[in-house]
Amino acid sequence: MTRAVLSLGSNLGDRFAHLRSAVTGLGAAVVAVSPVYETAPWGVTDQPDFLNAVVVVDDAGVDAWGWLYRARELEEAAGRERTVRWGPRTLDVDVVTVDGVRSEDPELVLPHPGTPDRASVLVPWFDVQPEAVLPGHGPVRELLRSVSRAGVAVRSDLDLRGAAGR
Protein backbone atom coordinates (compact mmCIF):
# COMPACT_ATOMS: atom_id res chain seq x y z
CA MET A 1 0.00 0.00 0.00
CA THR A 2 1.22 3.51 -0.68
CA ARG A 3 -0.54 6.34 1.00
CA ALA A 4 -0.17 9.84 -0.38
CA VAL A 5 -1.27 13.31 0.58
CA LEU A 6 -2.26 15.44 -2.40
CA SER A 7 -2.88 19.18 -2.40
CA LEU A 8 -5.52 20.54 -4.79
CA GLY A 9 -5.74 24.15 -5.93
CA SER A 10 -7.74 26.11 -8.49
CA ASN A 11 -8.12 29.79 -9.28
CA LEU A 12 -9.47 29.83 -12.83
CA GLY A 13 -12.90 28.99 -14.24
CA ASP A 14 -15.31 26.97 -12.13
CA ARG A 15 -12.89 26.44 -9.27
CA PHE A 16 -15.04 24.09 -7.22
CA ALA A 17 -15.87 21.95 -10.27
CA HIS A 18 -12.16 21.55 -10.94
CA LEU A 19 -11.48 20.39 -7.38
CA ARG A 20 -14.48 18.06 -7.56
CA SER A 21 -13.24 16.57 -10.84
CA ALA A 22 -9.92 15.73 -9.17
CA VAL A 23 -11.58 13.97 -6.23
CA THR A 24 -13.91 12.07 -8.57
CA GLY A 25 -10.94 11.14 -10.78
CA LEU A 26 -9.08 9.67 -7.80
CA GLY A 27 -12.03 7.34 -7.29
CA ALA A 28 -11.74 4.49 -4.84
CA ALA A 29 -8.22 5.56 -3.81
CA VAL A 30 -9.68 8.42 -1.75
CA VAL A 31 -9.39 7.87 2.00
CA ALA A 32 -10.17 11.37 3.28
CA VAL A 33 -11.09 14.75 1.83
CA SER A 34 -10.57 18.02 3.68
CA PRO A 35 -12.87 21.01 3.85
CA VAL A 36 -12.45 23.55 1.05
CA TYR A 37 -10.64 26.82 1.79
CA GLU A 38 -10.66 30.13 -0.02
CA THR A 39 -7.06 31.36 0.10
CA ALA A 40 -5.28 34.54 -0.90
CA PRO A 41 -2.58 33.82 -3.51
CA TRP A 42 1.02 33.41 -2.38
CA GLY A 43 3.98 33.60 -4.76
CA VAL A 44 2.44 35.66 -7.53
CA THR A 45 -0.01 37.76 -5.55
CA ASP A 46 -1.62 39.59 -8.48
CA GLN A 47 -4.01 36.78 -9.41
CA PRO A 48 -7.44 35.58 -8.26
CA ASP A 49 -7.97 33.82 -4.93
CA PHE A 50 -7.61 30.05 -4.89
CA LEU A 51 -9.80 27.28 -3.62
CA ASN A 52 -7.60 24.72 -1.87
CA ALA A 53 -8.16 21.32 -0.35
CA VAL A 54 -6.16 18.24 0.64
CA VAL A 55 -6.96 14.64 -0.24
CA VAL A 56 -5.47 11.52 1.37
CA VAL A 57 -5.30 8.58 -1.02
CA ASP A 58 -4.03 5.06 -0.95
CA ASP A 59 -3.59 2.41 -3.58
CA ALA A 60 -1.39 -0.66 -3.35
CA GLY A 61 -0.52 -0.41 -7.03
CA VAL A 62 0.60 3.22 -7.19
CA ASP A 63 4.09 4.30 -6.11
CA ALA A 64 5.38 7.87 -5.67
CA TRP A 65 5.90 8.41 -9.42
CA GLY A 66 2.52 6.89 -10.07
CA TRP A 67 0.91 9.55 -7.88
CA LEU A 68 2.76 12.27 -9.83
CA TYR A 69 1.45 10.84 -13.11
CA ARG A 70 -2.08 10.63 -11.68
CA ALA A 71 -1.72 14.27 -10.60
CA ARG A 72 -0.63 15.35 -14.09
CA GLU A 73 -3.50 13.45 -15.71
CA LEU A 74 -6.00 15.18 -13.46
CA GLU A 75 -4.47 18.59 -14.28
CA GLU A 76 -4.57 17.87 -18.00
CA ALA A 77 -8.18 16.71 -17.79
CA ALA A 78 -9.02 20.08 -16.24
CA GLY A 79 -7.43 21.84 -19.21
CA ARG A 80 -4.41 23.11 -17.36
CA GLU A 81 -1.70 24.75 -19.43
CA ARG A 82 1.75 25.23 -17.94
CA THR A 83 2.59 28.91 -18.19
CA VAL A 84 3.85 31.05 -15.34
CA ARG A 85 5.39 29.49 -12.25
CA TRP A 86 3.07 30.13 -9.32
CA GLY A 87 0.61 31.66 -11.79
CA PRO A 88 -3.13 31.07 -12.21
CA ARG A 89 -4.40 27.60 -13.11
CA THR A 90 -7.59 25.63 -13.54
CA LEU A 91 -6.22 22.78 -11.43
CA ASP A 92 -2.97 22.21 -9.60
CA VAL A 93 -2.38 18.83 -7.98
CA ASP A 94 0.80 18.62 -5.91
CA VAL A 95 2.12 15.45 -4.32
CA VAL A 96 2.79 16.56 -0.74
CA THR A 97 3.99 13.24 0.69
CA VAL A 98 4.01 9.56 -0.18
CA ASP A 99 4.50 7.49 2.98
CA GLY A 100 7.98 8.43 4.24
CA VAL A 101 9.51 8.66 0.75
CA ARG A 102 12.24 11.26 0.21
CA SER A 103 13.17 12.33 -3.30
CA GLU A 104 15.34 15.12 -4.66
CA ASP A 105 14.65 14.48 -8.33
CA PRO A 106 13.50 17.90 -9.65
CA GLU A 107 10.57 16.19 -11.38
CA LEU A 108 9.42 14.74 -8.06
CA VAL A 109 10.66 16.38 -4.89
CA LEU A 110 9.30 14.67 -1.78
CA PRO A 111 8.03 15.88 0.49
CA HIS A 112 6.85 18.77 -1.70
CA PRO A 113 9.26 21.59 -0.78
CA GLY A 114 6.65 24.33 -0.46
CA THR A 115 4.67 22.53 2.22
CA PRO A 116 6.19 23.89 5.47
CA ASP A 117 5.43 27.50 4.43
CA ARG A 118 1.96 27.08 2.94
CA ALA A 119 -1.05 27.54 5.17
CA SER A 120 -3.13 26.65 2.09
CA VAL A 121 -1.77 23.09 2.43
CA LEU A 122 -1.11 22.75 6.17
CA VAL A 123 -4.53 23.99 7.34
CA PRO A 124 -6.63 21.50 5.31
CA TRP A 125 -4.10 18.71 5.91
CA PHE A 126 -4.37 19.21 9.67
CA ASP A 127 -8.17 19.02 9.38
CA VAL A 128 -8.03 15.49 7.95
CA GLN A 129 -4.90 14.19 9.70
CA PRO A 130 -4.31 16.10 12.93
CA GLU A 131 -1.45 13.75 13.88
CA ALA A 132 0.29 14.03 10.49
CA VAL A 133 4.05 14.44 10.34
CA LEU A 134 5.84 16.04 7.39
CA PRO A 135 8.93 13.85 6.87
CA GLY A 136 12.05 15.84 7.72
CA HIS A 137 10.07 18.76 9.14
CA GLY A 138 7.96 17.50 12.02
CA PRO A 139 4.32 17.47 13.03
CA VAL A 140 1.91 19.50 10.91
CA ARG A 141 0.44 20.76 14.20
CA GLU A 142 3.82 22.38 15.00
CA LEU A 143 4.41 23.71 11.48
CA LEU A 144 1.07 25.47 11.65
CA ARG A 145 2.32 27.55 14.57
CA SER A 146 4.85 29.28 12.34
CA VAL A 147 2.63 30.15 9.35
CA SER A 148 0.08 32.92 9.10
CA ARG A 149 -3.52 31.89 8.52
CA ALA A 150 -4.37 35.35 7.22
CA GLY A 151 -6.28 35.04 3.96
CA VAL A 152 -7.23 31.40 4.59
CA ALA A 153 -10.99 31.04 5.14
CA VAL A 154 -13.04 27.86 5.25
CA ARG A 155 -15.83 27.61 2.65
CA SER A 156 -18.37 25.58 4.56
CA ASP A 157 -20.82 26.04 1.70
CA LEU A 158 -18.58 23.81 -0.48
CA ASP A 159 -18.21 20.11 0.29
CA LEU A 160 -16.03 17.73 -1.71
CA ARG A 161 -16.77 14.62 0.29
CA GLY A 162 -19.70 13.62 -1.91
CA ALA A 163 -17.35 13.48 -4.90
CA ALA A 164 -15.22 10.70 -3.38
CA GLY A 165 -15.53 7.18 -4.74
CA ARG A 166 -16.28 5.49 -1.40
Ligand X SMILES: Nc1ncnc2c1ncn2[C@@H]1O[C@H](COP(=O)(O)OP(=O)(O)OP(=O)(O)O)[C@@H](O)[C@H]1O
Binding site for ligand X (CB under 6 A): 68, 71, 82, 85-86, 92, 94-95, 107-110, 112, 114
34 lies in the site for ligand PH2, by CB under 6 A: no
Q: What is the 3-state secondary structure (H, E, C) of 33-87?
A: ECCCEEECCCCCCCCCCEEEEEEEEEECCCCHHHHHHHHHHHHHHCCCCCCCCCC
When the beta carbons of 119 and 132 are compared against ligand PH2, the nearer one is 119
Q: Is 91 helix (H, G, I), strand (E, B) or coil?
A: coil
39 lies in the site for ligand PH2, by CB under 6 A: yes
43 lies in the site for ligand PH2, by CB under 6 A: yes
Count CB atoms within 10 A of the CB of residue 16: 18
Taking contact as CB under 6 A, which single stretch among the options 13-21, 42-50, 72-80, 135-143 is the one that binds ligand PH2?
A: 42-50
Residue number with the shortest CB distance to ligand PH2?
A: 9
When the beta carbons of 18 and 112 are compared against ligand X, the nearer one is 112
Binding positions for ligand PH2, 56-115, rule CB under 6 A: 86, 92
Distance of CA 145 to the CA centre of its chain: 20
Backbone angles phi, psi at 115, to 5 degrees: -55, -45
Backbone angles phi, psi at 6, to 5 degrees: -115, 140
Residue 100 binding target from ligand PH2, ligand X, none, CB below 5 to 8 Å by type: none
Using CA atoms, how far apart are residues 162 and 166, in angstroms rounded to an integer? 9
When the beta carbons of 110 and 152 are compared against ligand X, the nearer one is 110
Which residues of the chain form contacts with ligand PH2 (CB under 6 A)? 9, 39-43, 50, 52, 86, 92, 120
